[in-house]
Amino acid sequence: MQFSELGLSAPLLKAVSALGFASPSPIQSQAIPVILSGKDVLAAAQTGTGKTAGFALPIMEKLSSGQKPGGNNVRALILTPTRELAAQVEDNIRGFNEFLDLKTTVVFGGVGINPQMKRLRGGTDILVATPGRLLDLYQQNAVKFDQLEVLVLDEADRMLDMGFIHDIKRVLKLLPAKRQNLLFSATFSPTVTALAESITQSAVKISVAPPNTTVEEVQQILVNVDKSKKVGALTALIKQQKWRQTLVFSRTKHGANRIATRLTNSGIPSAAIHGNKSQGARTRALSEFKDGTVNVLVATDIAARGIDIAQLPVVVNLDLPNTAADYVHRIGRTGRAGASGQAWSLVSADELQQLKDIETLIQKLLPRETLSGFEPDLKLAETTLSAPKKPKKPKKPKQQKEANAGDKKPQAKASPSRRRPARRKPARASTGSHAS
Q: Which is nearer to ligand AMP, 52 or 212 (CB)?
A: 52
Choosing from 29, 30, 49, 342, the residue that interacts with ligand AMP (CB under 6 A) is 49
Alpha carbon distances (Å) from 136 to 107, 113, 114, 170: 10, 9, 11, 11
Tell the smallest beta-carbon distance from residue 217 to ligand AMP (Å). Answer: 17
Burial of 426 (0-12, 13-18, 19+ CB in 10 A): middle
Contact segment (CB under 6 A) with ligand AMP among 48-56, 102-110, 275-283, 312-320 equals: 48-56
Q: How far is the CB of 152 from ligand AMP (least distance, A)?
A: 12
Q: List the strands of the sheet with 342-347, edge to edge.
A: 270-273, 296-299, 246-249, 314-317, 342-347, 219-224, 368-369
Kindly list the distances between the CA atom of residue 166 and the CA atoms of 132, 140, 149, 173, 402, in Å, as whole numbers in the listed order: 10, 19, 22, 11, 17
Rounded CA-CA distance 369/366 in Å is 10
Nearest approach in angstroms of CB 183 to ligand AMP is: 15
Cβ atoms of residues 361 and 388 within 8 Å: yes
Based on the shown chain and the rule CB under 6 A, indicate whether residue 18 belongs to the binding site for ligand AMP: no
CB-nearer residue toward ligand AMP: 45 or 162: 45
Stretch that binds ligand AMP, among 44-52, 160-168, 169-177, 355-363 (CB under 6 A): 44-52
Note whether 47 binds ligand AMP by CB under 6 A: yes
Based on the shown chain and the rule CB under 6 A, indicate whether residue 50 belongs to the binding site for ligand AMP.
Answer: yes
Instruction: Candidates 48, 123, 210, 321: give the one binding ligand AMP (CB under 6 A).
Output: 48
Query: How many residues does this entry show for the chain?
Result: 436
Q: How far is the CB of 99 from ligand AMP (least distance, A)?
A: 17
Residue in 11, 35, 40, 52 binding ligand AMP, rule: CB under 6 A: 52
Q: Quick one: how far is CA 296 from the chain centroid?
A: 18
> 11 vs 376, which CB is nearer to ligand AMP?
11
What are the helix (H) ranges across 97-143?
114-121, 131-139
Least distance to ligand AMP, CB of residue 20, Å: 7
When the beta carbons of 207 and 430 are compared against ligand AMP, the nearer one is: 207
Burial class (CB in 10 A: 0-12, 13-18, 19+), 280: exposed
Rounded distance, CA 264 to CA 78, Å? 37
Task: Find, among 18, 2, 25, the residue nearest to 98 by Cα.
Answer: 18
Contact between 249 and ligand AMP by CB under 6 A: the answer reads no
Calculate the dihedral angle through the C-alpha atoms of 356, 357, 362, 363, rounding to the nearest 10 degrees.
Answer: 50
- For the bound state, the minimum distance from the C-beta of residue 306 to ligand AMP, rounded and expressed in Å, comes to 9
Q: CA–CA separation, 369 vs 359, rounded Å?
A: 16
Closest CB 76 distance from ligand AMP, rounded Å: 16
Distances (CA, A) of 399 to 161, 323, 423: 9, 15, 39
24 binds ligand AMP (CB under 6 A): yes
CB 79 to ligand AMP: min, Å: 16
Distance CA(107)–CA(127), nearest Å, equals 8
Site pattern 254..273 for ligand AMP (x: CB under 6 A): --------------------
Residues numbered 184 to 223 that lie near ligand AMP (CB under 6 A) are: none
Q: Which is nearer to ligand AMP, 45 or 380 (CB)?
A: 45
Q: Does 80 bind ligand AMP (CB under 6 A)?
A: no
Instruction: Please give the residues from 307 up to 326 whose contact with ligand AMP meets the rule CB under 6 A.
Output: 308, 310
For position 51 contacting ligand AMP by CB under 6 A, the verdict is: yes
Contact assessment for residue 256 and residue 274, using Cβ atoms and an 8 Å cutoff: yes
Q: Considering beta carbons, is residue 206 or 403 the nearer one to ligand AMP?
A: 206
Measured CA to CA, the distance from residue 340 to residue 79 in angstroms comes to 31
Q: Which amino acid is at 27?
A: I
Contact between 52 and 27 under an 8 Å Cβ cutoff? The reply is: no
Which among 173, 174, 156 is positioned nearest to 165, based on CA atoms?
A: 156
Q: Collapsing DSSP states into helix, strand and coil, what is residue 3? A: helix
Mask: binding to ligand AMP, 274-313, rule CB under 6 A, as x and -?
----------------------------------x-x---
Considering the complex, what minimum distance in angstroms separates the CB of residue 45 from ligand AMP?
7
In this complex, which beta carbon is closest to ligand AMP, that of residue 47 or of residue 180?
47
Least distance between ligand AMP and beta carbon 168 (Å): 21
* Residues lying near ligand AMP in the complex (CB under 6 A): 21, 24-25, 28, 47-53, 308, 310
